[in-house]
Amino acid sequence: MIWKEEDNCLSAKCTFVDFITAFAFMTEVAIHAEKQNHHPNWSNVWNTVDIRLTTHDAGNKVTDKDRRLAETISTIYTKYT
Amino acid sequence: MIWKEEDNCLSAKCTFVDFITAFAFMTEVAIHAEKQNHHPNWSNVWNTVDIRLTTHDAGNKVTDKDRRLAETISTIYTKYT
Amino acid sequence: MIWKEEDNCLSAKCTFVDFITAFAFMTEVAIHAEKQNHHPNWSNVWNTVDIRLTTHDAGNKVTDKDRRLAETISTIYTKYT
Amino acid sequence: MIWKEEDNCLSAKCTFVDFITAFAFMTEVAIHAEKQNHHPNWSNVWNTVDIRLTTHDAGNKVTDKDRRLAETISTIYTKYT
């Protein structure tokens, strides 16, 4: 999973075999995000999920909170591909 | 829940008390969408969900598939507010 | 929502209008449970969810961890009924 | 994934690395079950999910509906292990 850092965001695109798989991935990410008390800006269209991470409380900059969540998401993603 | 039709999309914005509630709403919508074999373009940031419905197979126009899913989503949303 | 304490468990039964609603409720509970690092023993059949809470690490007794999760679940449940 | 047929049920036990993964699996199964309009009797304790399939409308016997859902669940399970 490749993360780009630009415009004060960490961003990545994920593709899955179908919508159901994409949503199961989102469910795992959702639970981890809530646990970390740090949530993604993300969008989904059928089998794709686009994720953007930034820290609102730090003035919309990339912080360690984003890097930690990105790492978690990368680990989850490897299970689905 | 107010749907706007413009740019060949039905769109709506939903707000919830927190992320967990927003994601539970998304889970219900996801199951209904898969059942209807028609999926939203949607994005989530913490307690907000933005939804755009259009029918790709009809050349990205608003069709009865979109109106049906919009109606389902409206019904679900009333439970969460 | 009525919780019974017996056999070293807090237990409750929940009923919903359909399976999808039951599963959305379960999704909210799942996220809160993971956040609290305390998980239910639960079963689901269509629109019903049976929940049993006990603290394994305390030798399967009812502890404050169970009472806290029960309170959270009760709060969630009121949204679905 | 090994299914046993006894007592007019198809049953299986699934184990995952943690609760979050178990719940993501359940989310996929839930969506497929709703699509097939046939739902499992299932229970979850942390990283385990026990599933029992029977057809209530056929007088609680194992039917092709159960075999179809079992096959779907087996396919999902292979992705998580």
Q: Under a CB-based contact definition with an 8 Å cutoff, are residues B24 and C28 in contact?
A: yes
Q: What is the pLDDT of residue C81?
A: 85
Q: What is the pLDDT of residue D45?
A: 98
pLDDT digits (tens, 9 = 90+) for B22-74: 999 999 999 999 999 999 999 999 999 999 999 999 999 999 999 999 999 99
Closest approach of B21 to chain C, Cα-based (Å): 7
Please report, for residues A45, A67, B49, the alpha-carbon distance to residue D42 in angstroms, rounded to integers and kept in the order given: 30, 37, 30
- Interface chains of chain C (3 or more CB pairs under 8 Å): A, B, D
Residues of chain C numbered 60-79 and touching chain D (CB < 8 Å):
none
pLDDT level of residue D61 (50, 70, 90 thresholds): very high
Q: Which residues of A touch B45 (CB under 8 A)?
A: 39, 41
The three-state secondary structure class of D15 is: strand
Closest residue in A to C37 (Cα–Cα) = A35
Which sequence spans correspond to the domains of chain B? 4-79
Helices A19-36 and C19-36, axial angle in degrees (round to 10): 40
Q: What is the pTM of this model?
A: 0.97
- Is A27 an interface residue toward C (CB < 8 Å)? yes
Tally C-beta pairs within 8 A across A and C: 10
Maximum C-alpha span of chain D: 36
Residue B81, pLDDT above cutoff 90: no
- Is B27 an interface residue toward D (CB < 8 Å)? yes
How far apart CA A22 and CA A44 sit, in angstroms, is: 8
How far apart CA B13 and CA D34 sit, in angstroms, is: 26
pLDDT level of residue D14 (50, 70, 90 thresholds): very high
Domain A4-79: which CATH number of 3.40.50.970, 3.40.50.720, 3.40.190.10, 3.30.1360.20: 3.30.1360.20
Q: What is the pLDDT of residue D81?
A: 85
Q: What is the pLDDT of residue B23?
A: 98
Strand partners, C48: C15, C45
Report, as ranges of residue numbers, the positions in chain C whose pLDDT lies below 50: none
Helices C19-36 and B19-36, axial angle in degrees (round to 10): 140
Residue A81, pLDDT above cutoff 90: no
pLDDT digits (tens, 9 = 90+) for A28-69: 999 999 999 999 999 999 999 999 999 999 999 999 999 999
Contact D43 C43 (CB under 8 A): yes
The three-state secondary structure class of D8 is: coil
Q: Which residues of A touch C34 (CB under 8 A)?
A: 31, 34-35
Residue D30, pLDDT above cutoff 90: yes
